[in-house]
Amino acid sequence: MSACCSWLFRRLFEGAVVFCVLVFLPGIPPQMSFTAFSVTEPVELKGVFAVNDKLDGIEKLFNQEIKGPEGFAIFDGAVYTGLKGGRLVKVVGDTLVDVADLSHPCEGMWDEVHCGRILGMNFDKNGVLYVADAQYGVYQVNVKTGEHSLLFSSEKPIEGKKAILVNSLVLSSDASTMYWTTSSTEANLEDGLLSLLGDGSGRLFKFDMKTKTHTLLMDNLHFANGVALSLKEDFVVIAETVRGRLHRYWLKGPKAGQSEVFIDGLPGMPDNLRQTGHGSFFVPLVAARFNTMPVLSDVIAPYPLIRKFLARLICVLKAPFYLVNKYYPNVYTGTFTHMVSFNNFSLGNFLVIMFAA
């Protein structure tokens, strides 16, 4: 055997050993399940999906000036959004006005596990703003005074599990009911990549604003994300990011209490949802999916052992940085662990598609 072949054989053997250790040795995080699944191929970009130039003339607000605006809400003509670090702001002309500070003590913007992270938000009919914080739960905010309080905490288990990554919410027109999602019950936003690799643990809840009780409506969604009510409020639409599809959960009518796939094979991974007021929905896509350019999570979906290997490899590589940062908090190790997160997964261009309901 030549020296080259011998070297190659050793490398392959060492790689196989590392693979087997990480996949089969018990006790290595993350403690998630990994089963095979398939993702519907994205639709072809033709017809109503054809590439167009409708967004070419848009105006970019605060370009390179702000970090992390995720969801937004509009009330009395003003636009509200949240920024990394916990600031809730209002857009007034060409300036940003601070409304409330929802942050918690932390080391910096990279320390979102402690800072908190504002995601989805919506107003009720009385002008009270409800804000989903990925780490802490849901806040209610008086946007006139900045006063805010925690409506419910993500620390309290619901149906046996904590809502580790609270994502999006929407309220009924009479403000009696809130529908909200948690993207995962196993991984927070900083470990969001693990949610792409493991089985889905996302959930959809109904929250009774009077009794303060939760009802679990859907479970095992693969990164449950945006949520929006239909115009007649007879169903709610939920984005399942990893599977590239939308679900519909019926609230009224003969199918009440049942769910179904609403739209499948989206040309991207759906994020926030917004009801347009005309019987349709805006569906922003956080990363593009094409037949000629599938995302990594689509390719490895049928291969649970590969997904398990990658998830465990990420945890092993991050472990020393977590350990150092735990006892000696610093910007370098903290920034590294933050970089390997769902926040930095977005590789595709931001697309907006409207579907008729």
Residue 103 lies in a domain: no
pLDDT digits over 103-158, tens only?
Answer: 999 888 778 888 999 999 999 999 999 999 999 999 999 999 999 999 999 999 99
Other beta carbons within 10 angstroms of residue 168's beta carbon come to 27
Mean pLDDT of all residues belonging to the chain: 89
Number of domains in the chain: 1
Residue 261 lies in a domain: yes
User: The pTM is what?
Assistant: 0.91
Residue 203 lies in a domain: yes
pLDDT for 353: 32
Residue 11 lies in a domain: no
For residues 224-252, average pLDDT: 98
Residue 335 lies in a domain: no
Which residue stretches of 198-299 are H helix? 296-299
CA atoms within 13 A on the CB side of 133: 31
Peptide bond into 30 cis (omega under 30): yes
pLDDT digits over 73-109, tens only?
Answer: 999 989 999 999 899 999 988 889 999 999 999 888 7
pLDDT for 350: 29
Residue 78 lies in a domain: no
Structural domain boundaries enclosing 176: 47-60+157-301+342-356
Residue 352 lies in a domain: yes
pLDDT for 335: 78
pLDDT digits over 218-230, tens only?
Answer: 999 999 999 999 9
Other beta carbons within 10 angstroms of residue 34's beta carbon come to 20
How far from chain centre, in Å, is Cα 314? Answer: 19
Q: Tokens 């796939």 belong to which residue? A: 261
Q: Is the pLDDT of residue 241 over 70?
A: yes
Q: What is the CATH number of the domain that holds 215?
A: 2.120.10.30
Confidence of residue 333 (pLDDT cuts 50, 70, 90): confident
Choice between 225 and 22, residue whose per-residue pLDDT is larger: 225
Residue 18 lies in a domain: no
